[in-house]
Homo-oligomer: A and B are copies of this chain.
Amino acid sequence: MQEIANEAGINKALLHYYFRNKNLLFEEVFLDAVKKFHPILKNAIEQEVDLYQKIHQICEAYITMAIDNPFVPVFVLSEVNKQPEIFIQKMFGGDLPDFPKLAAQIEKEVSLGNIKPIHPQQLILNMMSMCVFPFVFKPIFIIGMQANKEVFNQLMLERVKAVPQFIIDSIKIQ
């Protein structure tokens, strides 16, 4: 609270005046900021379009969200691993993206022979991983690659197209 007050150029007492206590501050500031993105991401997953389009939409939604708000992936993944049920309830309000529906769509394409055989849940994990992970991995990547923020940001921009391309290259039938 002291650090926040310093940063804001006010004092602790005023923080309590505005937010009553530390937990309410946390929820109003962080959770509200993060909850904004939920409908966008949920919508990308639940849109009624064909699979390749959907892969593009999901990757674009997740990666651009993370580019514009790089703190969100780190924040969500840190918090959700502290108290999974509680955080998910607060964050999604029991209204998570419909992953099973997406899995069913993948399953259908596989059974129709339109894409290579793959476990739908593995494909979903692969897609989510490639969209979100780099933003959490960023510090290690930059130091390990002897890169810098500008290089990293450029790579992330490229990923909006590169990730769906990579996925589709892997699952498409020649």
Interface residues of chain A, those whose CB is within 8 Å of chain B, are 74, 77-78, 80-81, 84-85, 88, 96-97, 99-100, 103, 116, 118-119, 121-122, 125-126, 128-130, 132-134, 136-141, 143-147, 155, 158-159, 162-163, 166-167, 169-171, 174
Contact = CB atoms under 8 A, between A and B. Distances in A.
- Copies in the assembly, this chain: 2
Given A125-B155, A133-B136, 17 more contacts: A74-B81, A77-B77, A81-B138, A81-B139, A84-B139, A96-B144, A103-B145, A121-B145, A122-B155, A125-B130, A125-B137, A125-B141, A126-B130, A133-B133, A166-B170, A169-B169, A174-B174
Contacts of A163: 126
A98 to B, nearest CB: 8
A132 B146 CA distance: 21
11 contacts: A81-B138, A84-B139, A99-B141, A119-B158, A122-B155, A122-B158, A125-B130, A125-B159, A128-B137, A132-B137, A174-B174
A77 B125 contact: no
Contact of A129 (B88, B100, B134): B134
